[in-house]
């Protein structure tokens, strides 16, 4: 079949057969954020280009190579968001959200856009989940953020994933480190790529994040940032580690982590896996205490993380993580004849209004085709309404797995089927819990989760 067009390179369709998995993961993330006191923020998909130039950094790959930027008919330079933090920070300032009390804690689920080589785990349109805190300078805020991300991975059952942390210092102590990097990389100019040569004077830390093999080889012996951080930054980093130890969160100190965006300061961290090859960073974040001031606000401590959903789904698949099966139709009501179709349609609406997933024919199919469709959508129960059923005001509800039937008056159909659903739920819960009379409340919660 020749279709008009296909999806744009670097984009993916999430089909109904897969979307329920995304919904499960996204809801789990939302629950974790809300447990930690975070509220959702939704920002526009595009912003004025200057926002990303100032926040993300003009020397980053994102700004130099990857942004989707265009001029509007009014002559404004607009960019599709390449990440979520800049828009959230802009909204925090523009709407004076700080007046609602500090800390301000927000989370987001959004699409981002970067023009880069499309490959597994790296798309030009991709999905991010992120959490951000504004106004908290204490190391406990760093640890809280890391613990929230860690809890998401633990709840999903991921095992082959590790936390790596580092401190890249503040603006004050980073000056000495920047000078050391300039001196070191200046001795290797002949081997640096053109992009890194342009970064040498303006932001040599970006060279540490270069993907060019020659630059990566040189960077292995570069000065280590932890040797240059000031006493305040060192003390802050030590406290972060103390809090993580108190929460029993395992971590490794990786002094090579700098993150790819310019707004980071002090604590930076990544959750890394070997399950999906080279694209192993599943989540990254850290502190960016200078960002709000850079955007025109008062000096405000801030921090956060973002994780790519596509890459996370790849890791889950690689680790054979089993997700709950898709919730299917509770009951399919088939109908024979015009009057039966009208009655079936009314019953389905009543069932749906009672939060029961119900379906009936909207294709004009015969009974055999209707029941074939009921099997295809994996309906748990079925009922067939014909002329005799209408006369007798009664219909049989059939369990599609066991074949057992229950008689139900049409006038009380919703109530009878609701009781069936409730009894099944109670039975399933009893089977799940068992007969352990001494079970603690925490064990009970673990069982049902």
* Domain CATH number, residue 130: 3.30.930.10
Residue 214 belongs to a domain: no
Give yes or no: residues 279 and 244 share one domain.
Answer: yes
Structural domain includes residue 11: no
**286 and 411 co-located in one domain:** no
Asked if 26 and 107 count as a contact pair (C-beta separation under 8 A), the reply is: no
User: What are the strands of the beta sheet with 358-360, ordered from one edge?
Assistant: 358-360, 331-335, 381-385, 394-399, 405-409
* pLDDT band, residue 445 (cuts 50/70/90): very low
CA distances from 416 to 214, 328, 350, 388, 399 (A): 71, 20, 12, 20, 14
The confidence score (pLDDT) of residue 434 equals 62
**Separation of alpha carbons 38 and 108, rounded Å:** 10
Q: Looking at the structure, do residues 310 and 286 belong to the same domain, yes or no?
A: yes
pTM of the model: 0.88
Distances (CA, A) of 410 to 309, 336, 388, 421: 46, 15, 12, 17
CB half-sphere exposure, 183, CA atoms < 13 A: 7
Q: How confident is the model at residue 441 (pLDDT cuts 50, 70, 90)?
A: very low
pLDDT of residue 448: 46
CA–CA gap between residue 105 and residue 119 (Å, rounded): 33
Joined tokens for residue 64: 């130099």
The verdict on residue 151 lying in a domain is: yes
Give the C-alpha separation, 339 to 358, whole Å: 19
pLDDT score, position 444: 45
User: What is the per-residue pLDDT for 60?
Assistant: 67
What was the pLDDT predicted at 198?
Answer: 85
Angle of helix 231-246 relative to helix 139-156, nearest 10 degrees, comes to: 40
Residue 139 lies in a domain: yes
**pLDDT by residue (tens digit) across 241-263?**
999 999 999 999 998 888 766 67
Would residue 441 count as lying in a domain? Answer: no
Same domain flag for 108 and 138: yes
Task: Let me know whether 284 and 340 are in one domain.
Answer: no
Q: What is the pLDDT of residue 195?
A: 85
Query: Does residue 257 lie within any of the structural domains?
Result: yes
Mean pLDDT for the chain?
91
Q: What is the pLDDT of residue 429?
A: 60
65 pLDDT more than 60: yes
Render pLDDT for 140-159 as a digit per residue (tens, 0 to 9).
999 999 999 999 999 999 99
Is 264 part of a structural domain of the chain? yes
- pLDDT at residue 30 tops 50: yes
Q: Are residues 376 and 305 in the same domain?
A: no
Overall number of domains in the chain: 2
Q: What is the mean pLDDT of residues 362-369?
A: 96
pLDDT winner (highest mean) among 178-187, 272-281, 384-393: 384-393
Angle formed by the axes of helices 338-353 and 413-433, to 10°?
Answer: 50
Domain at 400, CATH number: 3.40.50.800
Inform me whether the pLDDT recorded for 436 exceeds 90. Answer: no
pLDDT in tens, 318-344: 999 988 889 999 999 999 999 999 999
- Last residue of some domain: 257, 287, 318? 318
Of 46, 83, 84, the C-alpha closest to 66 is 83
Residue 313's domain spans which residues?
16-170+229-318
């Amino acid at each position: 079949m020749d279709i008009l067009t296909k999806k744009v390179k670097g984009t993916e369709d999430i089909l109904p057969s897969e979307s329920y998995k995304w919904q499960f993961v996204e809801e789990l993330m939302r629950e974790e954020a809300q447990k930690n006191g975070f509220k959702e923020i939704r920002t526009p998909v595009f912003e004025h280009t200057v926002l990303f130039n100032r926040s993300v950094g003009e020397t980053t790959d994102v700004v130099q190579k990857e942004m989707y930027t265009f001029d509007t008919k009014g002559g404004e330079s607009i960019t599709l968001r390449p990440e979520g933090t800049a828009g959230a920070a802009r909204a925090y300032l523009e709407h004076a959200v700080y007046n609602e009390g500090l800390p301000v804690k927000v989370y987001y689920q959004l699409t981002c856009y970067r023009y880069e080589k499309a490959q597994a785990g790296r798309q030009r349109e991709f999905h991010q989940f992120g959490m951000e805190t504004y106004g908290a300078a204490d190391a406990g805020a760093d640890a809280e953020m890391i613990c929230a991300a860690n809890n998401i991975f633990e709840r999903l059952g991921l095992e082959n994933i590790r936390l790596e942390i580092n401190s890249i210092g503040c603006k004050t102590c980073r000056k000495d480190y920047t000078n050391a990097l300039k001196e070191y990389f200046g001795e290797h100019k002949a081997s640096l790529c053109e992009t890194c040569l342009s970064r040498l004077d303006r932001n040599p830390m970006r060279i540490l994040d270069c993907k060019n093999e020659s630059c990566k080889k040189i960077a292995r012996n570069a000065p280590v940032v932890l040797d240059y951080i000031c006493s305040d930054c060192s003390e802050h980093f030590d406290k972060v580690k103390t809090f993580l130890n108190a929460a029993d969160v395992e971590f490794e100190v990786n002094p090579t982590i700098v993150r790819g965006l310019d707004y980071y300061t002090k604590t930076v961290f990544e959750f890394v896996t070997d399950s999906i090859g080279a694209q192993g960073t599943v989540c990254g974040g850290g502190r960016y205490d200078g960002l709000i001031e850079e955007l025109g606000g008062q000096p405000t401590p801030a921090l956060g993380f973002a994780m790519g959903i596509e890459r996370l789904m790849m890791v889950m698949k690689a680790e054979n993580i089993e997700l709950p099966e898709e919730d299917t139709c509770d009951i399919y009501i088939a109908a024979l004849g015009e009057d039966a179709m009208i009655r079936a349609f009314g019953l389905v609406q009543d069932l749906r209004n009672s939060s029961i997933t119900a379906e009936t024919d909207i294709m004009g199919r015969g009974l055999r085709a209707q029941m074939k469709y009921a099997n295809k959508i994996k309906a748990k129960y079925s009922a067939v309404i014909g002329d005799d059923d209408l006369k007798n005001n009664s219909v049989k509800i059939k369990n599609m797995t066991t074949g057992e039937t229950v008689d139900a008056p049409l006038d009380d159909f919703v109530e009878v089927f609701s009781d069936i659903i409730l009894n099944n739920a109670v039975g399933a819960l009893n089977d799940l819990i068992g007969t352990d009379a001494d079970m603690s409340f925490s064990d009970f919660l673990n069982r049902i989760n």
